[in-house]
């Protein structure tokens, strides 16, 4: 049977490595294997349920019949609640006309790319990072890819951006970063902001400005002495050029509730609203009413954050310490100390080694398979996030991690590493 000719976009869109890996994991689980599945940027709701107050608000909203279309920009009640929430907790002042609600962060990112990027426009993004390559492909922009380095905790630097900023239309930034769980230092983000402002000041009025997408969906999950910084607080002039992507999905373990918001210049958000309305990407009315009610429950949110963050951090630290112990024992592994989000950056540098069965791990894809088959450990290689194919670094997510299984997992990993020579 001859396949139908489809659009250029459909025929050239790359599949997700995480989805492919997930299918392999599901089949192993179906066959009865126990897998330590740390691949998905999601939560097991049995371990990390949404806040009880939010759940109650959702149930109440449905009981009260909030099941019709919401306003395309999001209901006023929620935009007012978001304005108060980000002002009290981040010091960011945004009016309701500078806030756009949608069904999570993804449609907001899509709408932002569509609103700003034309065919051939330069889009700067660092790798590893989540899905920027696909959004640039959607808009037929020019990929300007910067590969980051472990010595900078895989965060892009002003020096790297400065080499390619000329003529760019969009700079895509994320902090805390998916997939690394690392964050911008204050001085580095200030330097990046200064570059953007300098570049825009050079451009004539008739020329497109350089906008910054600042994905801060994990900003509430910072640990220890880590401080979350954002462009507008550091450089108020950046408000004209910055579009924040934010929401409840990671802050409240509510990935399936689908309420996100963008903050930015009103004229940009108006165009994003139009794009989202045509694809029906608004958040459900009941969930909007519920989130509006919950965001005002300051004391309940504070209590939730303390408990939720401590549970996430405990998992990250325990696995990090386990990897440091393996490193001390001489195994070729490493990890970056956890800073934020639900991710730990780990390294498993065993490419080229041979298994007890005499098979050689020829490349990093073989390493990924070996970890899954022998250690029962499922993690996502950085090459799935655009990094080099030979990168030995991985994203490990603790959103579905049971604290009591970590020692067991580390033991399985130790045994698998011992089997190599």
Q: Is the pLDDT of residue 1 over 60?
A: no
pLDDT digits (tens, 9 = 90+) for 348-363: 999 988 887 778 989 9
Residues 344, 396: contact at Cβ < 8 Å? yes
Query: Domain of 31: which CATH number?
Result: 3.90.1150.10
Residue 108 has φ and ψ, to the nearest 5°, of -70, -40
DSSP run (H or E) holding 295: none
Structure tokens at 71: 């306003």
Q: How confident is the model at residue 173 (pLDDT cuts 50, 70, 90)?
A: very high
Please check whether residue 58 lies inside any domain of the structure: no
Domain total in the chain:
2
Same domain flag for 278 and 362: no
Residues 139, 117: contact at Cβ < 8 Å? yes
Please check whether residue 147 lies inside any domain of the structure: yes
For residue 7, CA distances in Å to 4, 13, 115, 275 come to 10, 10, 21, 20
Same domain flag for 167 and 246: yes
Same domain flag for 189 and 142: yes
Structure tokens at 270: 């108006």
Please check whether residue 197 lies inside any domain of the structure: yes
Same domain flag for 280 and 306: no
Same domain flag for 191 and 242: yes
Structure tokens at 309: 């963050």
Residues 59, 402: contact at Cβ < 8 Å? no
Q: How confident is the model at residue 4 (pLDDT cuts 50, 70, 90)?
A: confident
Domain, as residue range, for 213 = 68-297
Please check whether residue 318 lies inside any domain of the structure: yes
Please tell me the pTM assigned to this model.
0.94
Structure tokens at 110: 């899509």
Among candidate residues 297, 322, 354, the one where a domain is terminated: 297
pLDDT digits (tens, 9 = 90+) for 176-235: 999 999 999 999 999 999 999 999 999 998 899 999 999 999 999 999 999 999 999 999
pLDDT digits (tens, 9 = 90+) for 125-171: 999 999 999 999 999 999 999 999 999 999 999 999 999 999 999 99
- Bridge partner residues of 151 (DSSP): none
So what's the pLDDT on residue 26? 85
């Amino acid at each position: 049977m001859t396949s139908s000719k489809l659009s250029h976009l459909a025929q050239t869109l790359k599949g997700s490595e995480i989805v492919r890996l997930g299918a392999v994991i599901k089949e192993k689980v179906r066959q009865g294997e126990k897998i330590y599945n740390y691949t998905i940027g999601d939560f097991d709701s049995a371990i990390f349920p949404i806040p009880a107050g939010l759940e109650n608000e959702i149930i109440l909203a449905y009981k009260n019949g909030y099941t019709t279309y919401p306003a395309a920009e999001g209901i006023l009640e929620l935009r007012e609640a978001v304005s108060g929430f980000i002002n009290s907790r981040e010091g960011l002042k945004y009016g309701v006309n500078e806030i756009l609600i949608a069904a999570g962060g993804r449609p907001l990112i899509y709408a932002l790319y569509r609103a700003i990027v034309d065919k051939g426009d330069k889009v700067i993004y660092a790798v590893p990072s989540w899905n920027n390559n696909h959004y640039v492909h959607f808009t037929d922009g020019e990929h300007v890819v910067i590969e980051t380095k472990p010595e900078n905790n895989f965060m892009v630097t002003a020096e790297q951006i400065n080499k390619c900023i000329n003529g760019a239309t969009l700079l895509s930034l994320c902090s805390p970063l998916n997939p690394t769980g690392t964050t911008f230092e204050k001085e580095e983000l200030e330097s990046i902001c200064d570059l953007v402002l300098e570049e825009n000041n050079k451009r004539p009025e008739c020329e497109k400005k350089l906008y910054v997408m600042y994905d801060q969906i994990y900003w509430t999950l910072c640990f220890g002495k880590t401080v979350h910084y954002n462009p507008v607080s550091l450089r108020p002039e950046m408000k004209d050029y910055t579009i924040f992507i934010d929401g409840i999905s990671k802050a409240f373990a509510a990935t399936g509730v689908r309420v996100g918001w963008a903050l930015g210049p009103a004229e940009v958000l108006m165009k994003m609203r139009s794009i989202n309305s045509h694809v029906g990407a608004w958040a459900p009315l009941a969930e909007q009413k519920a989130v509006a009610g919950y965001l005002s429950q300051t004391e309940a949110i504070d209590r939730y954050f303390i408990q939720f963050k401590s549970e996430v951090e405990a998992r990250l630290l325990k696995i990090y310490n386990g990897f440091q112990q393996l490193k001390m024992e001489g195994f070729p592994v490493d990890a970056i100390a956890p800073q934020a989000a639900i991710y730990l950056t780990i390294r498993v540098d065993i490419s080229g080694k041979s298994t007890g069965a005499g098979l050689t791990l020829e490349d990093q894809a073989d390493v990924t398979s070996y970890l899954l088959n022998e250690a029962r450990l499922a993690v996502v290689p950085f090459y799935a996030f655009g990094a080099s194919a030979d990168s030995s670094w991985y994203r490990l997510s603790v959103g579905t991690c049971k604290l009591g299984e970590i020692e067991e997992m580390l033991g399985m990993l130790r045994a698998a590493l011992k089997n190599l020579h």
